């Protein structure tokens, strides 16, 4: 092979150059299109959710309006999505869903594509965001003060006791986004709820969203994300404290294994 052919083969292709230029220009898309469109879509979705919920159909808002909001923003990003494990979900059954937390885009991934009627456990600070707070409250999402365990426990128990048939509750059990991408220790609240009420844990592993929006950053990048729904984990018989501890350990180990098997250098294996 001649030297000129080697040089040509090492040069970026037209598609590579187009991709490089696209990434260079992406901040313009982010600030001139994506962010303004996301704000408008959020306001519209929140208003519709409030009206639908006031009419007596919060599950319709949660299963139809909010997922479309999430999918529109994911499409605009763009975020390509893969879902695995739907066969583990029993239709009509209520679960305590536990997911790892890598990025704000976890919310779009789970809300937009898991297909479950879930009430999310959210930090109290979200309750001060205009339109978002009103839409979430109308649907029945749960705001907790992480510095007030008693308030958090009462709010969660009250909300879980009022769940409609087939609806579940979702926790990011780490309590915050992982800065390193590694799975952090789980807080016990989700597992105590599951053990106390005899509900199975449905583990969900989020992969790839950290590369789209890194914790603490405002720079968004297009990318791919994967949501892996694991087999349900049933609470063991016996004392609630022991059952909750066992659920916590088994869930952490399952999500950790799945995350490790599907993650390479902080990005998803696709």
Confidence category of residue 19, pLDDT binned at 50, 70, 90: low
Residues 129, 232: contact at Cβ < 8 Å?
A: no
pTM for the model stands at 0.89
φ, ψ for residue 55, nearest 5 deg: -75, -5
Domain edges within the chain: 3-268
3-state secondary structure of 250: helix
Cβ atoms of 73 and 45 closer than 8 Å = no
Task: Report pLDDT for 14.
Answer: 42
SS3 assignment, position 157:
helix
Q: What is the pLDDT of residue 6?
A: 40
> Which of the four CATH numbers 2.40.10, 1.10.3470, 3.30.420, 3.40.1130 does domain 3-268 have?
3.40.1130
25's enclosing H/E stretch is helix 14-29
pLDDT at 270 > cutoff 80: no
Query: ∠ CA 230-86-209 to the nearest 5 degrees?
Result: 65
26, 92, 152 from 118: Cα distances, Å: 33, 12, 18
- Write down the number of H helices and E strands in the chain: 11, 9
pLDDT digits (tens, 9 = 90+) for 23-81: 789 999 999 999 999 999 999 999 999 999 999 999 999 999 999 999 999 999 999 99
206 DSSP β-pair partners: 227
How far is 249 from 165, CA to CA, in rounded Å? 28
């Amino acid at each position: 092979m001649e030297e000129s052919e080697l040089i040509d083969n090492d040069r970026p292709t037209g598609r590579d150059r187009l991709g490089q230029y696209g990434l260079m220009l992406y901040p313009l898309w982010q600030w001139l299109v994506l962010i303004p469109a996301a704000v408008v879509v959020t306001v519209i979705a929140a208003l519709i959710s409030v009206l639908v919920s006031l009419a007596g159909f919060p599950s319709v808002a949660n299963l139809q309006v909010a997922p479309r909001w999430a999918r529109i923003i994911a499409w605009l990003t763009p975020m390509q999505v893969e879902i695995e494990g739907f066969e583990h979900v029993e239709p009509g059954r209520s679960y305590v869903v536990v997911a790892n937390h890598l990025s704000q885009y976890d919310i779009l991934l789970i809300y937009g594509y898991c297909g479950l009627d879930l009430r999310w456990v959210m930090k109290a600070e979200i309750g001060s965001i205009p339109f978002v707070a009103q839409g979430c409250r109308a649907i029945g999402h749960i705001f907790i003060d992480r510095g007030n365990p008693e308030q958090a426990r009462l709010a969660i128990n009250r909300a879980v006791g009022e769940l409609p048939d087939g609806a579940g509750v979702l926790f990011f059990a780490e309590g915050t986004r992982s800065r390193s991408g590694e799975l952090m220790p789980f807080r016990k609240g989700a597992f105590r709820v599951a053990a106390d009420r005899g509900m199975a844990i449905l583990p969900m592993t989020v992969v790839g969203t950290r590369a789209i929006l890194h914790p603490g950053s405002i720079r968004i990048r297009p990318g791919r994300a994967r949501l892996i729904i694991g087999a349900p984990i049933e609470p063991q018989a016996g004392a609630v404290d022991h059952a909750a501890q066992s659920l916590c350990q088994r869930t952490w180990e399952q999500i950790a294994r799945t995350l490790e098997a599907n993650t390479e250098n902080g990005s998803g294996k696709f």
